[in-house]
Structure 1
Amino acid sequence: MSENKFQHIRDIEFKRLGDQVYFDHTGSCLYTDSHIKRYSEQLTKNVFGNPHSGNACSEKMSDIIHQTRLDVLRRFNVTVDDYDVIFTSGATDSLKIIGENFNWTPGSVYAYTEDNHTSVVGIRELAAERGASAYCVSCAKALLSGCTIVKAPQNLLKSKSSNENPLSLFAFPAQSNFSGAKYPLTWIKDVKRNLLPLDLIHPSRKCNWYVLCDAASFVSTSALDLKEYPADFVTISFYKMFGFPTGLGALLVRKNSEETLCNKKFFGGGSVSGWLASRDFHSPKPVLHDRFEDGSSSFLSILALKLGFDTFNQLGLTIDAIEKHTHDLWRNLYYSMKTLAHENGMPLVEIYLNQDDSTINCTSQGPILAFNIKRSDGSYVGYNHVVQLANSNNIYLRGGCFCNLGACVSLIGTEINVLLEAYGNGHVCGDAIDLIEGKPIGAVRMSLGPHSTVGDVNTYIEFLTDCFREESCVYTSQYSADPDKSTKIILDDILLYPVKSCQGMSVKKWEICDTGLKYDRMWMVVDEYGSPITLKKAPHLTSIRPTVDVTKQCLTLRADDMDSIAVPFIQNLKEAVVRDLNVNAKCVSKVCGDTVVGYDCGESVALWLSQILNVSCSLVQKCFDSQRYTSKRFNAYGNPNKISLVNEAQLLLVNRSSIEYLCRRMIEHGYLDESDTMLDNMAKRFRANLVVSGASSFSEDKWNRISFNATNIGGKNGRVDMVKCGLCQRCNVICIDPDTGQKLNGPLRALANVSLSDNAVRRKPTFGIYLKCDQSSCVLTAKSEVTIEDIT
């Protein structure tokens, strides 16, 4: 199948991609338009019933399920005489079935390779619970004979056990979902012939080995011939093959190995031939898949799977053609990235592979590339920053360890003690921590699929060159921790953002309440499902200009070419109904994982917003008495403080000198055109509440306690103290022009390349500091003096 044919399929079946570049096929393949159209047509033309019901539409569905099982087996070159197919919710569910039901006994061994998905490793807990010994092995250069133990077992294997021939299980991935390394399928027969070198564990006895092959990553772009490589158990997730349906996978069980899954206790509807409620009696169904598919199957998803096979066949997307296409693209990508370098010759990319380039071919390497970006001085760029910057360029990647911490640690070289300490300090998978002491604890992953093209690869190489290749040294700021005693630091501006993600409102003076600035982020726009609409989703939110009238207790929204609309404050539900705002009930939504209770502000403002954003949406006001607190990561700075709908902390401060410095760097490198309004435009991007002037650039990073002039409610002059509780880590929101809603990548790129005067490169794109305030019922005034009380 020619590259032109693949490009034609991309042009016809994926018009919705437009200029977006999708490199997360290992996360999920993309579904074709034809697949969805076929599925919709089948649903609208037919009546499909529950296969357990026994009527005509039920029998039709039963026939489709049977044919789909045959399609699955055909894909792997076997028949119903060789394997059974148990439909599950995905590969993880399939692995759980094995762990829960395998015939573990004292003396059994569960051996799994270090390079494995979380769900494969999780089986060890179930094995150990029944007395088996679980070992993690590392296979140097993908050689079975070179396996070494890298983890002591939960249970020590005894030389004698109650079972002279205990059943044991070896688990490995056909393809690493971290690096794309393909492991030899010949291991399947070798392990069953007792060639796994674990005699150092039990030299006096050989195990009765069975083999689990996790093929979820492998089968999306490679052929798996189970006739030639008869693994006992094979796990699959179909969305990785077709993109749709999600929530459907399969466990393929070799007929000769069925008896090993003998520990099933629970039974559900459809999985038993007979049972009694008044007696301890039930009789499992004799056919394996009937016995393990408790309850009604996801029969409409199985219909979608059948149509997935049919669609790929119609398009000519054979697995051999897909394998060649994706491997050719991978080689193009790999060698292009490998040659990228900074002006001083330092490599731009550090790639993580399990093998030397000389041995790379389509049988040893899948279309996955894991890497980190390095600066010209050899320091690392955090993978979160790379993913965010790619997002702002409509390029979709994944960062982290991809549920494969073993391969991640092994290939990157992360110290186990470093990770244990990080977990002890609150680090969790998927959080913002990507560098510890300057070293990466994860990577960026690109994964190609049938619908990737040469144009996608070229776009990404251009992105790396434009955004990360350095032609000179990183910028050095005029950093000074101590403020200049001869220059006063002034509170230059006070801003609040009544509606989350919309324009800010500059004020001369404003009240501090127990959540920060009063009415700051008290409202948010939500979609038809109640989820917040943010700048990342809808840049045109910047066209909405909210103002708050405290006297009239009213929020007013304005936008170009629209009449303004007034939204009265809602004190409680009863008041909302009296005001005839058409509020039916309280709304429940989530902001940064926190549950938020609010009030729908009515149909009028919903229609007004929907016209501007061109999506169905509404305005929600947070209940005044609904409590939400600062991020847990700020607990070290004292008791949690109440917050409104902000992401993390009560207040955000930025330094005008830091903004000016960043603007100069952007102008020098062509990211920004110099203009009179440029500084104000840049200041708006950072969405700060407090803007100060008079301090040296980036000195705010080391301020710990700050004192502002304030007026107590009642008229008495005084001061209000605020405590820094962290640096504000920046994402691609700062790339959105607050005046036009257009994206400009310069701010995020420039920020990542700033270094301090002590040559400590800013490892993360942070800008501004979070503040917390334990005082309330006082008023801040712009242009008043600021005192820095404590400096690190």
Structure 2
Amino acid sequence: MGQPASHPDTSDESASTLPAGYSRAIEDWRAEEFGRLQDTVYLDHAGAALYPESLVRNHCQHLLSGLHLNPHSSHAAEQAIDTARRQLLTFFGAASDEYSLVFTSGATESLRVVAEGFAFGPGSVFAYPVESHTSVVGMRQYAFRHGARVATYEMDRLADVADPSYIGRRSIEPPSPSPSPPPSQCPHEAFSSAPPPPNLLIVTGESNFSGLKGDLSLLPSLMEPAIPHHQLHYRVLLDASKLAASSRIDLSRTPVDFMVFSLYKVFGYPTGLGGLIVRHSAAPLLSPPSFGGGTVQAVAATSAFVAEKAALCDRLEAGSPHFLGIAAVPMAFEAVFRRFSMEQLEQHMQAVTHYAYQRMAALTWRQGGRVFRIFGDHHKEDWPRRQGPVVACVVLSPTGDVLPYSSVAGKARERGIVFRTGCHCNTGGCQTHLQLTAADLERHFMSGHVCGDDVDTIDGQPTGCIRLSFGFSSTLADVDRFIDFIRQDVMNEPDTPAPAPQCSLRQDGPVTPPALPPASTPSPPADGHHAAEGVLSSLCIYPIKSCGGVSLARWVIDLRTGGLLLDRRFRLERTTSAEKMPRVISRTSEPKLAQLRVALECDVDRLVMVLSFADEGRSESSLRIPIALRGRPSALLSVIRLMVHHQDSESGTGVGADGEGDEAVARWFGDRLGYGVRLVDSEGDSDIGGEGGGDGRRLLSNYANTSPFLLVSSSSLDHLQRTSGLSIMEADRFRGNLIVSGLPPLIENSWADSPDIPVHIGNLDFYSLGSCKRCPSINVDPQTGTVTASVLQSLTTITQGMEDGSGRKRGVGRFGVLLRYGSSPHGGGDGDGWVEMRAGDKVVRAGSQVDGVCV
């Protein structure tokens, strides 16, 4: 088919001309085949293409037209499968005398088939790009198991994988001892005296995270026997899962040994069907570890005799193939490519993508900062060669903070706009573009964050991004709708006001953030400066991280930890057999923790923590856990006994037997949460109540994420409630340690600018570590455990316009101030003793500026 007409490129959103390659005919086709979109803007084509309606209709008619038998029972069904097999090979430019196609359930199974059957051995190299799908990364487990060296490379350093020293520097230590060469040894040295086992190189055709493309022109030089001989050469597997949906692939021009793909990424339908294309010269390197139905010529059940089939497809397609889905393949080609070639669709997708990039890159806040930080190579002159139809980005606030992606996505869903957020099963993409280290990822996991949850920031670091991905049914109008959404709902531009949504205060449903009303600004004193003064209303400690708190009128700072005694000393870890390693249980992952009530009691010679769930109350079912005050002066218990006596705790008539040991604790939690749980003590991570480490003062208070103290101002909270109309933003939702009243609203926002100026509480000095970036844990109701998904979204919307005393905008998605205790801004208190704090202590910070504070 001919190429579409060329139009002058333009970045002018109001121009009458179209971007080069954009097709109005595809717009007409969309109206015919994708009418179910209606007002929805679908920007997740990397997740799944949208299937044409005629494809599903034709397939349903085919299924209803007669009996369609198992190919093991029907020669006609076998022929239909072979027809679809040849059609796909032709589509990918793979000659049937050089390649075979094995039907699988999709790209992930295809990768597994290669990984478990490939002839890895000691001295082999398995290399994959950092920016790889998790299913690719998972192949390394098979390589490790067979003693192969595993290494990563950056996508723009593909040519360097032939260099043994580069591979040596990029090697990953195996998780357990293996027969692989020592890390200091270059790969070629390990097998210089014997024929080398094969190496396997994974090449990502197009990243599902950023849309970056691999340079396939380099593959021939990496596949041929290396000259000079000390260079590495590889068998190459092309991960075409994303590339096949957006670009023409021609294996006759760019041959590879293996290629994997999923059909739902290309056509949208059928799901659960994909393929593994194998070059015949590479087939001997695959030896499936087992056999199954349809893969053998003969087999004895009572001896080891087996004769496997000779054809590669027959040996690797174990069991009955997805024959009903395979029948849809010819109809998929008819529905998509009857009117347009792959080249036309590719140019159309590129035109829409670049139009989106230009419009997004041009957006700026009124203060001058960019609205988006965009990842990839969209800005380069040869972007069509480098970049697929994906725009991965984070949204920035006027001050440059990253806005929580869950908040942006939640607002978008209300507008009928669909896109993907997170790491998109590509943590290497997150590491590369968000500059996260492996240590960061481990720390996030230990904090309770797992793939697929809505925890979008931890300690101020974004855990993922927003991905807009375009497909053959995308149009410029989709981009315009997205830009309008950003302007109206994120930037709150006055010249394009968004319709004011209704605000729901229901606890069991989403809360829609209201449009920001004009806010009253606290009146400043005439000179604009004074010492901000307030009163410490109460103290609160959270002995078990993510669980209920204990409100106290008096308590002590433990000088060994630098935080409040017992605050976040314990945490809960999940220990079910399905978990490879213990995982921290957070309030986000287990909202029921909000209902775990904690009380403190003093026996004659020990401190006891009493646990009960809200629906049980203090009763015989409560759990009593003795707490060891390791290394503290003996007088401390006497002081605590007086403080606990005055605490505001629930009354209870009786408690159960002491939980003396891990088994009793695990059984108690397991009965209530339904899975294995371990209570871990931060002081040496020993058994609860046992002896352990804990020597030395820590910068963080036990299992605190970022800071020993969190100060929450009740005046600021009241101001937010009045502004938002959301009464559900109560103080205990924000889990502060120091609750202060009487400060001017929002005055604490400015403290981060002068961290050397102390905050005096009574006769103690504290120093600001900045404002607290809130995470989805505030979505959990502290009384009921109900998740109100839009609380964080509401806070983000409300705080977007915050200003401090200097008129600078700051604080998007932030509330509360992180503090550290110390006699100077560079050090904490000394010794192993304690200092006391009391409700009623005066809170003073000199030099605070209160003018211009507004929302």
Give 1:115 shift. Answer: 2.1
How far the C-alpha of 1:276 sits from its partner, in A, is 0.5
1:339 counterpart (342, 345, 362): 362
In 2, Cα distance between the equivalents of 1:455 and 1:189?
41
Amino acid at match of 1:114: V
Give secondary structure in 2 for the equivalent of 1:366: coil
Name 2:719's counterpart in structure 1.
Answer: 661
> Residue type of the partner of 1:24?
D
Deviations 1:426-479, CA, capped at 9 Å, x for gaps: 332223332344332321111000111111000111111223337799999979
Match of 1:406 in 2: 428
Q: For 1:310, give the aligned amino acid.
A: E
**Alignment coverage as a number of residue pairs:** 583
1:255 corresponds in structure 2 to: 280
Residue 165 of structure 1 aligns to which amino acid in structure 2?
P
* Counterpart-to-counterpart distance in 2, 1:5 and 1:191: 41
1:235 is paired with a residue whose SS is strand
Query: What's the % identity of the aligned pairs?
Result: 29
Q: 1:9 aligns with which of 1, 14, 29?
A: 29
1:477–1:754 CA contact under 8 A, matched in 2: no
Counterpart in the other structure of 2:154:
138
CA distance in 2, matches of 1:409, 1:729: 24
Aligned counterpart, 2:413: 391
Distance verdict in 2 for CA 1:42–1:756, change over 3 Å? farther
Question: CA–CA distance in 1 between the matches of 2:123 and 2:54?
Answer: 52
CA distance in 2, matches of 1:445, 1:211: 28
Distance 1:358 1:417, change over 3 A: same
Q: Deviations over 1:547-600 (max 9, x none)?
A: xxxxxxxxxxxxxxxxxxxxxxxxxxxxxxxxxxxxxxxxxxxxxxxxxxxxxx
What's the CA shift for 1:116? Answer: 1.6
One-letter amino acid matched to 1:193: E
**Counterpart Cα distance in 1 of 2:112 and 2:794:** 46
Deviations 1:57-103 (A, max 9, x none): x2332221111101111111223212111111111111111111111
2:804–2:810: 8 Å Cα contact kept in structure 1?
A: yes
1:313 matched to 2:337: yes
Partner residue of 1:425?
447
Distance 1:190 1:333 in 2: 36
Q: Match of 1:192?
A: 223
Change in Cα spacing, 1:151 to 1:70, as seen in structure 2 (3 Å) is same
1:136 counterpart letter in structure 2 = T
Aligned residue runs from structure 1 range 44-63, under 5 A: 44-53=64-73, 58-63=74-79
Partner of 1:438: 460
Q: Could you say which residue in structure 2 is the equivalent of 1:326? A: 349
Listed as ranges, the matches of 1:168-179 within 5 Å are 168-179=199-210
Match of 1:539 in 2: none
In structure 2, what is the equivalent of residue 92 of structure 1? 108
Matched, 1:749 2:797: yes
Residue type at the aligned position of 2:80: I
Q: Which moved more, 1:327-336 or 1:61-70?
A: 61-70
Q: How many angstroms does 1:206 deviate by?
A: 4.7
- Residue of structure 1 in register with 2:305 after alignment: 281
Q: Match of 1:73?
A: 89
* Structure 2 residue 448 is matched with structure 1 residue 448: no
Question: Structure 1's 306 and 40: CA in aligned 2 closer, same or farther, altered over 3 A?
Answer: same
Q: Quick one: structure 1 residues 332 and 693, their matched pair in 2 at CA, closer, same or farther if it must change by over 3 Å?
A: same
8 Å CA contact 2:70, 2:323 repeated in 1 = yes
Secondary structure of residue in 2 paired with 1:70: helix
Contact 1:481–1:791, Cα closer than 8 Å, also in 2: no
Q: In the alignment, is residue 350 of structure 1 matched against residue 411 of structure 2?
A: no
RMSD between superposed Cα atoms in Å: 4.9
Give 1:643's aligned residue. Answer: none
Counterpart CA distance in 2 for 1:256 and 1:96 is 20
**Cα offset, 1:354, TM superposition:** 4.3
Q: What residue number does 2:288 align with?
A: 264
Q: Which moved more, 1:412-421 or 1:19-28?
A: 412-421
Counterpart-to-counterpart distance in 1, 2:392 and 2:382: 18
Query: Contact conserved, 1:50 with 1:299, CA < 8 A, in 2?
Result: yes
Identify the match of residue 237 of structure 2 among 196, 212, 215: 212
Tell me, what secondary structure is at the counterpart of 2:276? strand
Stretch moving more, 266-275 or 421-430:
421-430
CA contact (8 A) 1:174 1:182 kept: yes
Change over 3 Å in CA distance of 1:130–1:307 after alignment to 2: same
Distance in 2, matches of 1:486 and 1:295, equals 69
Secondary structure, aligned partner of 1:167: coil
2:848 alignment partner in structure 1: none
The residue number in structure 1 matching 2:511 is: none
State the match for 1:235 in structure 2: 260
Alignment of 1:522-671 (within 5 A): 627-628=672-673, 661-662=719-720, 665=723
In 2, Cα distance between the equivalents of 1:426 and 1:694? 32
1:22-33 equivalent positions in 2, closer than 5 A: 22-33=42-53
* 1:457 aligned counterpart, secondary structure: helix
User: In the superposition, relative to structure 1, how do residues 143 and 320 fare at CA in structure 2: closer, same or farther (>3 Å)?
Assistant: same
| Among candidates 456, 459, 462, match of residue 481 of structure 2 | 459
Kept after mapping to 2: 8 A contact 1:105/1:166: yes
2-structure distance, mates of 1:6, 1:732 = 45
Q: Is the 8 A contact 2:348 2:472 kept in 1?
A: yes
Distance in 2 (CA, whole Å) between partners of 1:630 and 1:466 is 45
Higher alpha-carbon deviation: 4-13 or 244-253: 4-13
Which one of the candidate residues 281, 292, 298 is aligned to 2:322? 298
One-letter identity of the residue aligned with 1:390? A
User: Residues 473-512 of structure 1: matches in 2 within 5 Å?
Assistant: none
Cα distance in 1 for residues equivalent to 2:841 and 2:671 = 33
User: 1:165 maps to what in 2?
Assistant: 196
Q: Whose strand fraction is larger, Structure 1's or Structure 2's?
A: 1
Aligned equivalents of 1:185 and 1:486: distance in 2?
65
- Measured in 1, the distance between the counterparts of 2:795 and 2:231 equals 62
Instruction: Give me the whole-angstrom Cα distance separating, in 1, the residues matched to 2:801 and 2:778.
Output: 13
In structure 2, relative to structure 1, the CA distance for the partners of 1:260 and 1:446 (3 Å cut) is same
Q: CA deviation at 1:110?
A: 1.3
Asked whether the equivalents of residues 732 and 748 of structure 1 are also in contact (C-alpha less than 8 Å), the reply is: no
How far apart are the structure 2 equivalents of 1:732 and 1:17? Answer: 33
The CA distance in 1 between the partners of 2:732 and 2:414, in whole Å, is 21
Q: Which amino acid aligns with 1:3?
A: S
CA distance in 1, matches of 2:437, 2:261: 32
Does the 8 Å CA contact 2:423/2:464 hold for their aligned counterparts? yes
Instruction: State the SS of the aligned residue for 1:372.
Output: strand
For the structure 1 residues 274 and 425, does the alpha-carbon distance in structure 2 shift closer, same or farther, using more than 3 Å as the test?
A: same
- 1:462 and 1:278, CA in 2 relative to 1: closer, same or farther beyond 3 A? same
Structure 1 portions without partners, runs of 5+: 488-512, 520-624, 641-653, 667-678, 702-725, 734-741, 768-786
Q: Read off the aligned partner of 2:254 and give its amino acid letter.
A: Y
Q: Secondary structure at the match of 2:381?
A: helix
* Counterpart Cα distance in 1 of 2:79 and 2:387: 38
The change in CA–CA distance for 1:80 and 1:727 in structure 2 (over 3 A counts) is closer
- Amino acid in structure 1 at the alignment position of 2:48: S
Residue range with higher mean Cα deviation, 627-636 or 149-158: 627-636
- Identify if the C-alpha distance between structure 1 residues 626 and 13 changes in structure 2 by more than 3 Å, giving closer, same or farther: farther
CA 1:5/1:760 → structure 2, altered by over 3 Å: closer, same or farther? closer
Deviations 1:128-165 (A, max 9, x none): 22122121122437655898446324432443367413
